[in-house]
Structure 1
């Protein structure tokens, strides 16, 4: 290793933080990352900024610069509470829009504006209006993985963590649940007394998993515990030992302490949980989200330095979209 990368004592910089990510970041790469980490921490103090990071962010972001981490529901709740002047969303674009909807007077940044979502791109506001015309009077529950324009056309939002509770809260015999077809089908399996109408939107990470993947994992790792995200196809969820949001999967691991776990979701989820649960063996398979991986420490630093890639939401959409999100936040899973 180049001696210039070390501090004067010959040790790696920010050793306490490196200890958290050493299994994922080679020592030779850490000094350059540590420089970005130190700069981000200083910029946060100078700008009264906070970094919100989704569970799918890489460990070097999740464990070093994030102030608040969690699934979409947790990030939405914390975005509504923060007193920071600047919010940096280390996630994808719809998450940053949600933070802006809940904080219209604050500066919301996304480090890479191209960090999108296949679910958010699968449906438009015009599609929602068309669905309402075809199903008059049927309430519309929209997954939070959607644009502000789609949220504004909805009755209320949900996440994978509170989808069932949101649908039940309506007390309606029929519900439109959009756009994630698999999430809707998995909720339908839990609520046979409610007819759930779906839309053919899918997560490009979770739709690639198959029931055969789980069977192969069980054969390769006898006794392994399988946790699946409810954005997976119903056949995958049926093969799993447990299905839930990323927050629910984390709770399962930390409560049950299984010896071996397969996380049927985005790869960073297992990486981040492994840091906190060194006694649990996390085994593959998993899939990468190309959008989440567009976010990096360097991009977070540049975004804070220039307050670049600010996320805006048209004024006409703020109130109706906020109403849908706040109705979601009022429902407890």
Structure 2
């Protein structure tokens, strides 16, 4: 599948009426786990799982983490096959960094509403309106968009990336409007233009829900992903004294894990996709982690089922291909992303 056909499949996956029924019929039990690890060893494959995956997928993976950490692992791994349990842009990123390796995703229909919110054609048109601007793309974008990008970023290093750009240069930040607003607050940069895209799951975690949950748990810390629609509300609550400012933490998923290991709080309200709770509870089992919105579950992430992963390793499906020219153009932007910010603190 080329970059263009990958994008087409991704767009189709988001259309109403398209069958997105996950592969089923397999239980993620011990026998399944042993078979996954046996097949992975047999095929010289490393299994990577994003923090938003189902718990059984996270637990069987060789490495679980955020998009930046997994991108680094994919690039550095000696395995000849990368099995990326996540959404399609993540597997594309692994292929961009490791063009000579076989990259598989257990279900190529696993797309991303945020990545779908801007196309390469739209980005080219936006660049034409701002000649000379530096393009900063969140890693949650297609390979074709990355190819039109100067430097990629994750939620943990987005502020550092923008600060690294000369102050007199315009910046086009895409595609997430909430992360862009966070970067604008942190940098105070007036020549930063933000694309009006969003992750439907994070955007659905709103300020009213956060305020209600925080009022009901006044001693809880707040871990807020900057993609969330409630991020501004969290800062407002802190500024108005509704929540102690020191209890409000705007964090990437990697940052949440670090904060979980160091917190002295007995309870934490978490505003991000609910799959993150599994890793947080493992990192700090004595802390009560609760979702601000229990319905904040990404259907695309949850398409990577035990059956899908078993099918992937048994049949070598679905393989991800990125057009070599597209990958070459995108690679420098992704590599610059990996070089900026602390290791392991990604999406």
Deviation at 1:272, TM superposition (A): 2.4
| 1:236 pairs with one of 233, 236, 242 | 233
Determine whether 1:163 maps to 2:172.
no
Q: Is 1:283 equivalent to 2:290 in the alignment?
A: yes
1:216 equivalent in structure 2: 212
Say if 1:183 and 1:230, in contact at 8 Å, map to a contact too: yes
Please state whether the residue corresponding to 2:275 is helix, strand or coil.
Answer: helix
Cα separation, 2, equivalents of 1:112 and 1:102: 20
Contact 1:96/1:110, CA 8 A, preserved across alignment: yes
2:97 pairs, out of 102, 109, 114, with 102
Q: TM-score, normalised by structure 2?
A: 0.84
Q: For each residue in 1:50-108, what CA deviation from the matched residue of structure 2 results, as whole angstroms up to 9, or x when unmatched?
A: 01111111211112x11111111111111110111110101000000000000111110
1:143 equivalent in alignment to 2:138: yes
Is contact 2:156-2:251 (8 Å) kept?
yes
1:176 to 172, 178, 197: 172
Mark the runs of 5 or more structure 1 residues left unpaired by the alignment: 1-28
Judging changes above 3 Å, is the alpha-carbon distance between structure 1 residues 31 and 209 closer, same or farther for their aligned structure 2 residues? closer
5+ long unaligned stretches in structure 2: 1-24, 239-247, 343-347
- The 5-angstrom pairing of residues 91-130 of structure 1 reads 91-130=86-125
1:211 Cα deviation from its structure 2 partner: 1.5
Query: SS of the residue aligned with 1:267?
Result: coil
d(CA) in 1 for partners of 2:262, 2:190 = 31
Partner Cα separation in structure 1 for residue 76 and residue 233 of structure 2: 36
Alignment of 1:248-263 (within 5 A): 248-263=255-270
Partner of 1:108, secondary structure, is strand
- For the residue of structure 2 that corresponds to 1:170, the secondary structure is coil
1:271, distance to aligned residue in structure 2 (A): 2.3
Aligned to 1:154: 149
Q: Which residue of 2 aligns with 1:310?
A: 319
Equivalent residues of 2:28, 2:306 under 8 A apart:
no
Instruction: State the distance in 2 between where 1:38 and 1:304 align.
Output: 13
Structure 1 segments (4+ residues) deviating >6 Å: none
Length, aligned pairs only: 304
Separation of aligned partners in 1, 2:41 and 2:172? 44
What TM-score do you get using the length of structure 1 for normalisation?
Answer: 0.88
Compared CA separation, residues 297 and 115, structure 1 to 2 (3 A): same
- Per the TM alignment, residue 298 of structure 1 is displaced from its structure 2 partner at its CA by 1.8
Pick closer, same or farther for the CA change 1:66–1:257 going to 2, 3 Å: farther
Q: What's the CA shift string for 1:167-215, capped at 9, x where partnerless?
A: 1112243211011111011110001145210111101111011121111
Are 2:90 and 1:81 equivalent residues in the alignment? no
Query: Which of 186, 190, 194 does residue 186 from structure 2 map onto?
Result: 190
8 Å Cα contact 1:209/1:236 also seen in 2: no
Match of 1:199 in 2: 195
Larger Rg, first or second structure (1 or 2) = 1
Counterpart position of 2:6? none
Distance 1:323 1:74 in 2: 17
Q: Does 1:271 align with 2:271?
A: no
Query: In structure 2, what is the equivalent of residue 295 of structure 1?
Result: 304
RMSD (Å) for aligned C-alpha atoms: 1.6
